[in-house]
């Protein structure tokens, strides 16, 4: 199982053991910062779909400018922590890496969510997401709280915890592929469930190929550099 987890994140993360969480005797596929980033993104997308699940009209446009600014600012703590710690200006911990990554992931996922919701047939491309303060607050707070609960409780999940993170990572790559495929009118997955399954399957195959290719390229580079 560890080989599977290592392979999934091998091409996208340094996977330094002391910067990576362990649960049930297994290291996570990626480091603590990337764990927070992927989990935050996944939780934000899931939360957005839940909040708009019962709405008759689904938003398909970006949030208002003020909300976009707030989402952009959520990436700043991760950037600050990464730059200052790598520069040796201050120490950091896996907990700090996770939390700052979580905030960034929620920000990115919240920005990504309207485009994914916009792929639905009943979405309105002219309707901005997160215009109501209550929905916006729930969208920003719920994923962060859920992520913090995961941080505190993941050791209790044993070997399941690393695979939850791996699933979040694969889901993030799959979501990006889905949006890229939807740029083509022929591949836009609106309409029937069958079409969603076909395009979703194609996005998953691409994700598997990208993860495999990234791992292969990393091994190739390491082999070349190390002689």
pLDDT class of 22 with cuts at 50, 70, 90: very high
Angle at which helix 2-10 crosses helix 160-181, to 10 degrees, equals 30
- Whether 226 has a pLDDT exceeding 70, the answer reads no
Q: Is the dihedral of CA 85, 166, 107, 152 positive or negative?
A: negative
Alpha carbon distance 211, 5 (integer Å): 12
Mind listing the pLDDT tens digit for each residue in 96-149? Answer: 999 999 999 999 999 999 999 888 888 888 889 999 999 999 999 999 999 999
Alpha carbon distance 205, 210 (integer Å): 9
> How many of the other CB atoms lie within 10 Å of CB of 125?
10
Alpha carbon distance 115, 13 (integer Å): 26
Q: Which H/E stretch holds residue 34? A: helix 32-51
Average pLDDT, the chain: 92
The residue with tokens 């764990």 is: 35
Cβ(195)–Cβ(59) below 8 Å: no
Give pLDDT, residue 46.
Answer: 96
Phi and psi of 108, rounded to 5°? -65, -45
Give pLDDT, residue 227.
Answer: 57
DSSP-based three-state secondary structure for 89: coil
Alpha carbon distance 103, 227 (integer Å): 40
Find the mean pLDDT for residues 76-85: 95
Q: Kindly provide the residue ranges of all beta strands, DSSP E only, lying in the chain, ordered along the sequence.
A: 22-23, 26-27, 58-61, 123-128
Ramachandran region, residue 92 (left: φ > 0; alpha: ψ -120 to 50; beta: rest): beta
Give the global pTM: 0.92
């Amino acid at each position: 199982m560890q080989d599977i987890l290592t392979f999934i994140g091998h091409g996208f993360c340094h996977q330094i053991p002391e910067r990576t969480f362990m649960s049930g005797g297994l290291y996570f596929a990626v480091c603590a910062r990337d764990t927070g980033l992927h989990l935050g993104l996944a939780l934000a997308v899931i939360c957005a779909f839940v909040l708009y699940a019962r709405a008759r009209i689904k938003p398909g446009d970006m949030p208002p400018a003020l909300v976009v600014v707030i989402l952009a600012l959520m990436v700043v703590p991760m950037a600050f922590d990464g730059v200052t710690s790598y520069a040796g200006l201050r120490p950091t911990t896996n907990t700090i890496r996770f939390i700052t990554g979580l905030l960034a992931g929620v920000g990115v996922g919240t920005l990504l969510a309207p485009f994914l919701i916009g792929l639905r047939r009943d979405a309105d491309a002219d309707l901005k997401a997160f215009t109501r303060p209550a929905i916006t607050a729930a969208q920003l707070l719920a994923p962060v709280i859920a992520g913090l609960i995961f941080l505190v409780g993941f050791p209790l999940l044993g070997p399941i915890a690393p695979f939850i993170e791996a699933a979040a990572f694969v889901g993030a790559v799959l979501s990006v592929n889905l949006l890229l495929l939807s740029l083509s009118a022929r591949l836009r997955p609106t309409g029937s469930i069958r079409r969603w399954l076909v395009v979703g399957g194609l996005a998953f195959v691409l994700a598997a190929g990208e993860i495999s290719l990234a791992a292969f390229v990393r091994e190739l580079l390491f082999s070349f550099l190390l002689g």
